[in-house]
Amino acid sequence: MRRLLACLLALCAFACAVPRASADPPDPHAAPAPAAHQVLVMLRMPSPHFRPDGAYGGGYTDDSTRAARRRVARELAAAYGLRVVDDWPMPAIGIDCFVMEDTQNKDGGQVERLLDTLAHDPRVAWAQAIQEYRGLDGGDPLLPVQPAAQLWQLTTLHHASTGRGVTVAVVDSGVDANHPDLAGQIKLRRNFVDAYPDAAEAHGTAVAGIIAAREGNGQGIAGIAPGAKLLALRACWETAGPPARCNSFTLGKAINFALMNDVGIINMSLGGPKDRLLQALLDAALSRGVALVGAADPAQPDGGFPASHPGVIAVASDTQRAAPPGSLRAPGTDVPTSLPGARYGLVSGSSYAAAHVAGLAALILELRPGTAPARLRADLDGGVRIFPAALASGPGQAGSINACAAIARAAGACVCLCPSTTTTASLPPPRPR
């Protein structure tokens, strides 16, 4: 008991050293939210003619039609009183996305009329507003320690699988790749927030740690899938307000990059309004067999977007009283995890519940590579337990995942508590450490 108390006090000391985001002064260099007078204009691309490699950064170097599309974009801008601000090709869905700014109506009052006009131009695939998104943090992380990983018997699960060979894209704020629990776990990092240099940020680092923190290194935590590798795709930035802010364009660039780099899972611990560009990219991901995990927004009856998008595995915190129908529950309260600067702290919210499920999905994909998203969801559903809080919320509410049952379904063998008739010969051999 004394040893446990000492460990709890030590972790609390780590947590108390972490300043709350809301107490930080505003960063004058932080990337601004998209202006109300900026829109996204999509131009169609020709069919892709080659497969980019892992160094692909968003452009086909020998695409002779790129210059033509830029010329068309400039012509459109001139015709409608716009200015081309930025652009990014998204071959995953066959479009080139241009950010354009209305130079005539700075108050943004004419955006809807402008979008309608652009939609009727035959050169335009579609046009849309730039939506805003935020990380779904659950408030003050400095609460008493409650190691959520114990609920899933991680040590036992890792005898069956560690997520080895699986790549998870963390579409989030910046990840601290130098954190001792993440060193060597990041396959590559990319920054898609052009207005603000890459940075190690709290939300993205915490999510990455829950998914794939190193195991058995003598410090910190063990990730749900310590054998997995991460793509740290910075599509969000952090300010003194929400824990992380993103928009349609930054998220679109990151998700397109993930699809062009053969990921197995995309984790999106964020929420906001529905968005045509992002919907198209998510549909493309599902058609390619990529599993999508999204955090359910507790303030939205349907969980918000992208959690509510068909095919996305929506995840709510296990202590959330009411969760969207069809969503799953996972540990999301007082979760110890990595923070920038080799620190640790406690975090709460559906952002971190989603990270648990992304890690669990990686364990399943190691056991059964190529599992389709629908089958993966069935494995997770098969391990659901309904808790009293969910029952009290009415029929159709979320149940908490039984990780042992989910992994047993994927492994085809008992993993955790086994019947007395089960012999040790039927259990998977321990994984090398």
Residue 215 lies in a domain: yes
Residue 361 lies in a domain: yes
Q: What CATH number is attached to the domain comprising 121? A: 3.30.70
Contacts 24+ apart (CB under 8 A), 302-306: 303/271, 303/327, 304/271, 304/272, 304/273, 305/271, 305/272, 305/273, 305/274, 305/275, 305/278, 306/268, 306/270, 306/271, 306/278, 306/282
Q: How far apart are CA 55 and CA 314, in angstroms?
A: 31
pLDDT digits (tens, 9 = 90+) for 82-132: 999 999 999 999 999 999 998 776 555 678 889 999 999 999 999 999 999
Looking at 130, 162, 178, which one is the last position of a domain? 130
Is residue 114 domain-shared with residue 139, that is, in the same domain? Answer: no
Is residue 401 domain-shared with residue 286, that is, in the same domain? Answer: yes
Going through 255-414 in order, the beta strands assigned E by DSSP cover 265-268, 270-271, 291-295, 313-317, 328-330, 335-339, 343-347, 384-385, 399-401
- pTM greater than 0.85 (yes/no): no
- Write the Ramachandran bin of 256: left for phi over 0, alpha for psi from -120 to 50, otherwise beta: alpha
pLDDT given for residue 320 in this prediction:
78
Number of domains in the chain: 2
Q: What CATH number is attached to the domain comprising 281? A: 3.40.50.200
Residue 8 lies in a domain: no
Is residue 123 domain-shared with residue 147, that is, in the same domain? Answer: no
Is residue 372 domain-shared with residue 319, that is, in the same domain? Answer: yes
pLDDT band at 294 (very low <50, low <70, confident <90, very high): very high
Is residue 52 domain-shared with residue 90, that is, in the same domain? Answer: yes
pLDDT digits (tens, 9 = 90+) for 329-366: 999 988 899 999 999 998 999 999 999 999 999 999 99
Q: What is the dihedral of CA 275, 276, 277, 280, to 10 degrees?
A: 120
Q: How far apart are CA 34 and CA 308, in angstroms?
A: 24
- Return the bridge partners of 247, or none: 132
Burial tier of 420 (Cβ tally within 10 Å: 0-12, 13-18, 19+): exposed
Looking at 130, 152, 172, which one is the last position of a domain? 130
- Write the Ramachandran bin of 259: left for phi over 0, alpha for psi from -120 to 50, otherwise beta: alpha
Q: Estimate to the nearest angstrom the gap between the alpha carbon of 47 and the chain centroid.
A: 28
Residue 113 lies in a domain: yes
Q: How far apart are CA 409 and CA 276, in angstroms?
A: 35
Whether 385 shows a pLDDT value over 70: the answer reads no
Contacts 24+ apart (CB under 8 A), 57-60: 57/190, 57/257, 58/88, 58/89, 58/253, 58/256, 58/257, 59/89, 60/89, 60/91
Q: Helix axis angle, 350-367 relative to 373-381, nearest 10°?
A: 110
Q: How far apart are CA 67 and CA 96, in angstroms?
A: 11
Percent of the chain having pLDDT more than 90?
A: 56
Q: How many CB atoms lie within 10 A of CB 150?
A: 10
Q: How far apart are CA 29 and CA 197, in angstroms?
A: 9
Q: Which domain holds residue 66?
A: 38-130
Residue 293 lies in a domain: yes
Q: Kind of pairing, strands 313-317 and 291-295?
A: parallel
Determine the residue type at 33. A
Residue 10 lies in a domain: no
Which position has the token pair 């975090």?
A: 347
Q: Helix axis angle, 350-367 relative to 403-411, nearest 10°?
A: 20
Which position has the token pair 């999508």?
A: 292
Residues 137-149, mean pLDDT to the nearest whole number = 41
Q: Estimate to the nearest angstrom the gap between the alpha carbon of 25 and the chain centroid.
A: 26
Whether 209 shows a pLDDT value over 60: the answer reads yes
Is residue 321 domain-shared with residue 248, that is, in the same domain? Answer: yes
Q: What is the largest CA-CA distance in the chain?
A: 77
Q: How many CB atoms lie within 10 A of CB 388?
A: 7
Is residue 288 domain-shared with residue 389, that is, in the same domain? Answer: yes
Is residue 121 domain-shared with residue 214, that is, in the same domain? Answer: no
Of residues 240 and 106, which shows the higher confidence score? 240
Of residues 122 and 13, which shows the higher confidence score? 122
Whether 307 shows a pLDDT value over 60: the answer reads yes
Residue 29 lies in a domain: no
Is residue 103 domain-shared with residue 180, that is, in the same domain? Answer: no
Q: How far apart are CA 394 and CA 110, in angstroms?
A: 44
Concatenating the DSSP letter of every residue in 204-224 gives: HHHHHHHHH--SSSSSS---S
pLDDT given for residue 30 in this prediction:
47
Distances (CA, A) of 43 to 60, 94, 233, 260, 276: 15, 9, 24, 19, 14
Is residue 297 domain-shared with residue 337, that is, in the same domain? Answer: yes
Looking at 130, 152, 180, which one is the last position of a domain? 130
Residue 420 lies in a domain: no
pLDDT given for residue 241 in this prediction:
63
- Residue (of 277, 282, 278) closest to 41 by Cα position: 277
Is residue 265 domain-shared with residue 396, that is, in the same domain? Answer: yes
pLDDT given for residue 91 in this prediction:
94
What is the torsional sign of CA 100, 309, 317, 163? negative
Residue 322 tokens, joined? 């009411």
Is residue 249 domain-shared with residue 371, that is, in the same domain? Answer: yes
Q: Kind of pairing, strands 291-295 and 265-268?
A: parallel
Q: Which residues participate in catalysis according to the annotation?
A: 172, 203, 351
